[in-house]
Amino acid sequence: MPLIPEEPQIHEKAQGPRATPASGRTAPTPRPVPGPRPVPGPRPAAPPRPGRPGPLRPTPPAQRTSRDAAPAKPGPSGPATPAATPAGPQIQLIPASPEGALDAAEEAVDLLLDSGRTPGDVLVVTTGEPHPWAAHELSFGDAAYWAQHDAGDDVFYADAAVVERAAARPVVVVALNGGPESAVVTALSAARSRAGALLIVCGDPQRINPVLDASA
């Protein structure tokens, strides 16, 4: 009778991995597969920067009402009166040498006429040689010369020796084109008293200022 071979016994160690984990240990959780990262949208625009502040304006003082207004202090002989404004024309000095003073005066007259002054508003005074216009008019006689002055429709040129006879005009221009110191003093003092709005003096300021200060 043939022998039946015994079936081989499978040892426990030769068995494959167990389907279930050992007691007390859990199987690791599988990691999720990362998907595609979302693409960020456009960044929001930054708010506009404020401009530079302009110059600070002083805050005007609060206006007083009639109830809290300070009363005017009465003077020694009655109620207070408003302060008087300084009288006299505005003075403009144009530095010039005696040789260039007449030309500077002519330029000043041209600027006055270009700015809207009428010729009859202007009186020009010289301290040295007379202006050529004055010399020309005086060649027709003293009466014809002053008739031009009385008409008042053109620029009038007068020498320091006769300026005190001239009438007042809105603008007086003085040219220190030579002459003695007495002529300068006479011309400046007479011109200042006859200038209604503006006195223009063409010459050396160191020579002009002491005379004007003395006649103020």
Residue range 25-36, pLDDT digits in tens: 555 555 555 555
Cα angle: 38, vertex 39, 41; to 5 degrees? 125
Q: pLDDT category, 58, cuts 50, 70, 90?
A: very low
Three-class SS of residue 61? coil
> For the whole model, what pTM was predicted?
0.61
Q: Which of 45-54, 86-95, 113-122, 162-171 has the lowest mean pLDDT?
A: 45-54
Residue 201 has phi, psi (to 5 degrees) of: -120, 125
Please, which residues have CB within 8 angstroms of residue 127's CB and are 6 or more apart in sequence? 160, 174, 175, 176, 177, 178, 179, 183, 184, 187
Strand pairing of 90-95 and 195-203?
Answer: parallel
What is the token pair recorded at 141? 């006689």
pLDDT at 213: 87
Question: Hey, what amino acid is at 75?
Answer: G
